Structure 1
């Protein structure tokens, strides 16, 4: 199977299959048809889950060294074909080729981390004689795989976020059925090729391409699927939580990420970090910078530098090495972003730069005086839009940073260690980045949020914990 062919197959329990009904995959840059993929039916998904039942047994029985070998071999495949993976990411999604290469490189790291963490799926002994009734007993607990994991992945990181679900699932001894984003299924299919090359036993992995309202519902509600790992929007997450029933859930549901720039911050560091954090992948980044609170004594300087860098951002073709930012995932999304920006301006916000749309492209946009109660102040924009606010009181800045219903990551810029530690305690988020923007992440760290930003934690080691459960073993000695 080659990813440069127009007609693709989907990966069902180790077999490549076609379907008569197809979905088009188009380049958002020019609406060019890249490929067609099978439009799986509800029965296709049910069949994949049935096959995964056998795959789960085989996966659980695999020796750890075999899991490690296959994960490393898949990583080798991605590394060898890194440029092809990057071009696939760039063509089907929003990332520039430079951004896509970084994602492909991170995928290699995610798979290698999964191989390494497979050796650390361990338990520990339990001193049963700590209880009077436990005298004469010896035992331990071990971590065992859940069985079948259902994964639903988004368009904005179409390769590495799939790897973040597949790698830990295999390391833990599970089977996994992936439903990739309808707009960007090719990267997930390409990753399935890597596991095919690694000779992963049939049944352990399926990548089912289709419409979420059709096949996704089967995956969510099927009683044999023991866990749903979902990355996407809050509304979809709430629907999954209501429909999935009594099964484990891991959900990363987005954010409206704040940055606080203190009066002693280095603007030479803070400005470029926040610009990159706001406009990476056309702002379609769950941990992208959206709100920046700047001490009023340096607000004017920060604003001048920030707006100048935003204006210098180069929009263009994603495969052009000089392009800084590509289009949004489709024109509908660009129109949505334009609408919420226009709504903010009507509510009293001041446009400092940007605000123009051309098809799926939307300019890097910077606003100030945005009311806290308008959509942009409360919700996730998921586009290249950032809001600037001066503050005169640090407690007020922290209060405003915490005022949304999200809490994924926050950023701080300061040289004052004491104030940094104080703010770390006061910010209600899953991660605080000091002298970095909110979009910093490595694949080994626990990643997730508070409030409506999600449930559970990703990051390879932590995903493995989510995808296993404790089994207690106790011997009553003669």
Structure 2
């Protein structure tokens, strides 16, 4: 199926995107079209699910769970290693597919697929590490004479709901870790990237995963809500907006949840920083994928003594970014996911200007392509500062006192990641302690992630950590065995 998905969209053809339900790929049924935001034409046509499909998927998953759990960790790891190799082999075709569906520059799409390969490799390594403990039960008098052991057992059925902005790699995290843990997984694709999602699912199957390991349904929030409520589902991993995350939690009820939600990430540039390096890094990582990342640079706070210098360097770096056709390998900034998203950048820019901010670049759009926008000195109450832009817009603000800027960064309902440019170890340790975020990136911007490190936030940015090692903890349950009257610790 992988080759069919990748080849069906050749030229101007529309990619036919099947569902995978109860072990069968299905194209028959109601469909929905995806219009490529840069191409402005239909690029994929998807078989969408209904309530009956959700019931079938849940029933199948309940039976399939035992089959997947019966695979040894070594077998799961071998499949994941093959999936990593296949991802690299199909990197160019998958990168083009992402560019067609989402308008993401093809070089960034290829980079995402490289991360998919790395993520599957990490999942393979974590599958081999799954084990348990011999508990120190005899350390207390009532436990003497006994032995107690644990192991990490699969939850059974996992639900993965993925976003559009990094549809391949975020699915690799969810699906790869779930399979590594021994679960069967139901995947609900983002409506904006159905073909990319189907390709990653097909890739895992081509690598040797059994059909019992995964199902794929397409549709909107109604399909997601039904899947979340299905009693067969034991754990849900969701990445998306805070509002949708709250809806997922309400629909799920008493289920395990891993929620990676929104952010309006801050980066602090102190007076001892290398201003040129900081400006170049913030420019590159503020507009990657048109700023459509939960950790994209959104707020940059610069020490006042270096503020003008940073603004000049930053504006020059942003102005040098190449905006245009995502299929062009030299393009740095393609289109946003749709015209409404690009209009949000325009509207929030205009609002900030009306409140006293200065637009140094951008503030316009061409269809779904938002011109990289730089706002200087917006008020702290501007929507572009307080809410998640999720677009090609960066605000630059001055600060005087380090403790005050930490407070300003924390004055947000989000707390995912932050960046800090300084050589002062005292500031580094203090910021690590005091910033209300899940991760602090020193001498880098907020927009940096290694797929084998714990990733997640606090406050409205969600809970749980989305990285294979930590996700496997959420995808498994600890089962305890007590051996009465049999002790490796002695009887005395």
Query: TM class by shorter-chain length?
Result: over 0.9
For the pair 1:321 / 2:329, whether they are aligned, the reply is yes
Instruction: Specify the alignment match of 1:312 in structure 2.
Output: 320
For the pair 1:154 / 2:154, whether they are aligned, the reply is no
Report SS of the residue matched to 1:436. coil
**Structure 2 residue corresponding to 1:272, chosen from 280, 291, 307:** 280
**Structure 2 residue corresponding to 1:82, chosen from 91, 95, 106:** 91
CA distances 1:286-317 after superposition (whole Å, capped 9, x unpaired): 10001011011111100001111112222100
Aligned positions of 1:39-438 closer than 5 A: 39-213=48-222, 215-438=223-446
For residues 35 and 180 of structure 1, the distance between their equivalents in structure 2, rounded to whole angstroms, comes to 13
Equivalent residues of 1:14, 1:196 under 8 A apart: no
For residues 22 and 448 of structure 2, the distance between their equivalents in structure 1, rounded to whole angstroms, comes to 35
Report SS of the residue matched to 1:143. strand
Report SS of the residue matched to 1:11. strand
CA shift at 1:186, angstroms? 0.9
Moved more, 357-366 or 12-21: 12-21
Report SS of the residue matched to 1:54. helix
CA distances 1:412-437 after superposition (whole Å, capped 9, x unpaired): 00122222112211111000000011
For residues 305 and 356 of structure 2, the distance between their equivalents in structure 1, rounded to whole angstroms, comes to 23
CA distances 1:44-98 after superposition (whole Å, capped 9, x unpaired): 1221121111221111111111101111122222111111111111111131011
CA shift at 1:30, angstroms? 2.2
For residues 477 and 8 of structure 1, the distance between their equivalents in structure 2, rounded to whole angstroms, comes to 58
CA shift at 1:241, angstroms? 1.1
For residues 94 and 234 of structure 1, the distance between their equivalents in structure 2, rounded to whole angstroms, comes to 24
Moved more, 346-355 or 443-452: 346-355
Equivalent residues of 1:28, 1:94 under 8 A apart: yes
Equivalent residues of 1:14, 1:204 under 8 A apart: no
TM-score normalised per structure 2: 0.95
Runs of 4 or more consecutive aligned structure 1 residues displaced over 4 Å after TM superposition? none
CA distances 1:219-252 after superposition (whole Å, capped 9, x unpaired): 1101110111000000000111122100000011
Equivalenced residue count is: 477
Moved more, 354-363 or 70-79: 70-79
Report SS of the residue matched to 1:318. coil
Structure 1 portions without partners, runs of 5+: none
CA distances 1:341-391 after superposition (whole Å, capped 9, x unpaired): 222222222211110111101111111221222211211000011111111
For residues 455 and 70 of structure 2, the distance between their equivalents in structure 1, rounded to whole angstroms, comes to 29
For residues 19 and 372 of structure 1, the distance between their equivalents in structure 2, rounded to whole angstroms, comes to 52
Report SS of the residue matched to 2:129. coil
Report SS of the residue matched to 1:386. strand
Instruction: Specify the alignment match of 2:490 in structure 1.
Output: none
Equivalent residues of 2:258, 2:463 under 8 A apart: yes
Equivalent residues of 2:39, 2:100 under 8 A apart: no
Over aligned residues, Cα RMSD in angstroms? 1.2
For the pair 1:477 / 2:485, whether they are aligned, the reply is yes
TM-score normalised per structure 1: 0.98
Equivalent residues of 1:12, 1:203 under 8 A apart: no
Structure 2 portions without partners, runs of 5+: 9-13, 487-492
Moved more, 286-295 or 122-131: 122-131
Equivalent residues of 1:94, 1:156 under 8 A apart: no
Equivalent residues of 1:149, 1:176 under 8 A apart: yes
Report SS of the residue matched to 2:300. strand
For residues 9 and 367 of structure 1, the distance between their equivalents in structure 2, rounded to whole angstroms, comes to 43
For residues 204 and 311 of structure 2, the distance between their equivalents in structure 1, rounded to whole angstroms, comes to 48
For residues 459 and 8 of structure 1, the distance between their equivalents in structure 2, rounded to whole angstroms, comes to 28
CA shift at 1:211, angstroms? 2.0
Instruction: Specify the alignment match of 1:10 in structure 2.
Output: 19
For residues 375 and 185 of structure 1, the distance between their equivalents in structure 2, rounded to whole angstroms, comes to 31
CA distances 1:398-424 after superposition (whole Å, capped 9, x unpaired): 110111011100000012222211221
For residues 13 and 436 of structure 1, the distance between their equivalents in structure 2, rounded to whole angstroms, comes to 45
Instruction: Specify the alignment match of 2:11 in structure 1.
Output: none
